[in-house]
Amino acid sequence: MKDDPDENQLWQTAQALNRAAAAVSPGVASLPPLLFFTDPVRTPRPWEIAARLPRGAGVVYRGFGRHEMEEEARRLRRVTTKRGLRLLIGRDADLASAIETDGVHLPERDLERAAALRSRHPEWIITGALHGEAPVPELGPLDAVILSPVFRAGGASADRDPLGIAGVTRRASRLPLPVYGLGGITSETAAALADTGLCGLAAIDGVVKAFSAG
């Protein structure tokens, strides 16, 4: 079967961003170039997408407190381990610890938890959400921030004004941590982010489109 050009474009752009950022900050090399963010509505079977991701990518599982989330997270843990992917759990550090994932992703409102989590889990990757042009909160000992929305996006960011290329570049240059871009990122839009200073890409629909079977 021939390689999917969407897969190649998204992954290659993410890798190029990661390499460029790592040349300035060597620690970036340990971060996944591409993060697949799950969503209960938009990605109801995220393990199927994860099973097609390239080795070295990452998955951020967000269960939003649903009763199915432990079962789904464990299923993702099996797939990500087999595929050589990093798995972060959205917000729920207890679940992340219970199923031995690679870390957590914190909503912007929970960034103050980063210091305590780092103390208990020094080996974890800990990322945090950051939205738009709002003042930067105390970021603490995060490994990276996920900046959104880069482009016009769906889901919870549908009503937010996109930062655009200039906004992302400006924001990334002023933040003291590696920065991923999230929001409207697809194989078609990813190339425009080449010189923004991002350390990698994060996406929901863009990853689904690029890595779905068929």
Q: What is the DSSP letter of 123?
A: T
Q: What is the DSSP letter of 151?
A: S
Task: Tell me the pTM.
Answer: 0.95
Considering the domain 5-207 in this protein, what is its CATH number?
Answer: 3.20.20.70
CA–CA gap between residue 185 and residue 168 (Å, rounded): 13
The tens-digit pLDDT sequence of the chain (214 residues) is 345 777 789 999 999 999 999 999 999 999 999 999 999 999 999 999 999 999 999 999 999 989 999 999 999 999 999 999 999 999 999 999 999 999 999 999 999 999 999 999 999 999 999 998 878 888 889 999 999 999 987 766 667 799 999 999 999 999 999 999 999 999 999 999 999 999 999 999 999 999 987 5
Tokens 């929970």 sit at which residue? 110
Q: What is the 3-state secondary structure (H, E, C) of 49-71?
A: HHCCCCCCCEEEECCCCCCCHHH
Q: Which long-range contacts (CB under 8 A, 24 or more apart) does 44-52 make?
A: 46/72, 46/76, 47/72, 47/75, 47/76, 47/78, 47/79, 48/212, 48/213, 49/207, 49/208, 49/211, 49/212, 50/76, 50/79, 50/80, 50/83, 50/85, 51/79, 51/83, 52/7, 52/211, 52/212, 52/213
CA–CA gap between residue 200 and residue 179 (Å, rounded): 7
Domain residue spans of the chain: 5-207
Q: Which two tokens stand for residue 134?
A: 């709002």
